[in-house]
Structure 1
Amino acid sequence: MANQKVLSGSFFSYRVFQNLILGYQKGQTQRFFTDRLFREFRFYFGIGSYSNRFVLILCVLLFVSGCSFYRRIFPKEDAFIKSLNLPEWVLESNIKLRVLSGLQDVPNPEDSLPEDEIATFENKARRILATSPQAMKDLFEATGCIDGSRLAGIRANRITEREEDVWYGICQNGKEDAIIFRLFQMGNTDLYRKYDKETASAWEEARKLAANNPDRAVRLANQVIELEPAHPAARKLLGQLYLKGGYCKGAIRNYRIYLRVMPLAGDKWKIHEQLSQKCGGFLKPEPKREEVELPDADPDAM
């Protein structure tokens, strides 16, 4: 009988981990998956030795610790993020939705992408959306290393299974750095050429017109970020011009992306001070909205 209890407890542990794997592979929702796990837990809880019961409880606690609900109650402090010493509003995210557009080769139509899809942090590195290899090279060289030092050179790059292009660089202080580039339409050579023919020239013109023709400069800078959403110089320029014109939401969004790409920029706290003075009410986090699953469009109904 004792052996039966031990085997039953071991079988439960095996089934828990088996369901963990199968559930994630099948894309089951968090709520359905949790309910299924606890049904099995109640069924098997009275069976097994005390040591197995301890293991079972530990398994459930580890699973629950991965739930978003748990993370909201007990947020884990990220030492890396803390070391960047960023204002809180930089790490917040605006709720934006992609607009309907027939432009299939434009990654960020009307600057509609959420900020987290454009630039964020992952595995102690920057994770940035980009559209062409030349844009990646220019961005790495322009922004330098994440610790604020200049980039001495690009060492190598590697395509991952997630179709991300990781670029590795050597900093002038001797340290190594990397940027994880999330690719938009890998292998789209037409889009690659657009960067050389349109994006680079549009940025140069926007930079020259910023002082004397700010309206034209804003239009050109927006063309740049439609094709290269994380372009740091264009984001900074738009932040400056929007703040000067009193458009607080636009200024915060562009400065937010700029400081995610260049978290140790020398003007970081000057920007924070200016925004706090002119747009303090807009720096508060947006209220979280419940996610609504939209039904699939019916072509016959259109």
Structure 2
Amino acid sequence: MRQFTAVVNPTAGDSAGAAALLQVARLLREAGAGLDTEYSHSLAHARELARRAAEQGRVVLAVGGDGMAGGIGGALSGTDAVLGLIPAGRGNDFARALQLPTDAAGLARVLLDGEPRRVDTIEVESAVHPRTVVLGSVYAGVDALANRHANRARVLRGAASYYAGGLRAVAGWRPASYRVTVDGREHPHRGYTVVAANSAYYGSGRIVAPSARVDDGLLDVVMIREAPRRLFFTLMNELKTGAHVERPEVVVLQGREIRIEADRPVPYGADGEVDATLPVTVRVRPRDLSILF
């Protein structure tokens, strides 16, 4: 029977992490599994707790949102440790990409009986972050600014906070001139954003990269070009279905190493947590992490 250590972000979704864990914990213990719980006071502390539990041969459960999943997943990358997710954040986009059950009973069955599967991760390198490993995506431009606004929201929650953050970010955004280098080939780009995606989803369920797969050894690079602001709002709505990739204003490439630069200080983010400024280099790390899903 598996032995688990749950690492909880107590601020995720206004303490939704602890509530989500309670439901699953009861089912795990009733099945005879062992479960310890650790509460982190920072993402760095969560990584430390995860490494310590993994060294003891325990399955590590990341309880929180995409930042928690990415932070702990990054800490365990390149090892034989096994990660499980208990989604309890604003977006839960990587859990969505893995098609994890949203009910406690279904999630408990995955954690108890599922076979670990290897997935890719993303290595992020910049002057501020010499080496960070995340799971879902790295995005540079108006969406990073929107994510910053969403994280600071006090009234709206979930998808609503991301949508409101997006409206606020777009209202004051002027297109940037990017230089995007994919596997050594340069692609000049002027527009709103560049996304290097391991997962199809970001921004609380928006399908930014419909063809992205977490285990194909590639990153999908989505670039949204300069367009009239009204059209960009239409593109934002089309992110709900992934239909935006059919528009001529959207370019989709694939690669293993992507360098993103810009003509001015442009913010970038990763899994909702890294908040820095271009330039940045991202690399796919194939089959780098074992996850239960």
TM-score (ref. length: structure 2): 0.27
Select the structure of larger CA radius of gyration: 1
Question: Which of the two has greater helix per residue?
Answer: 1
Q: Compare relative contact order (CA 8 Å, sep 6+) and give the higher one, 1 or 2.
A: 2
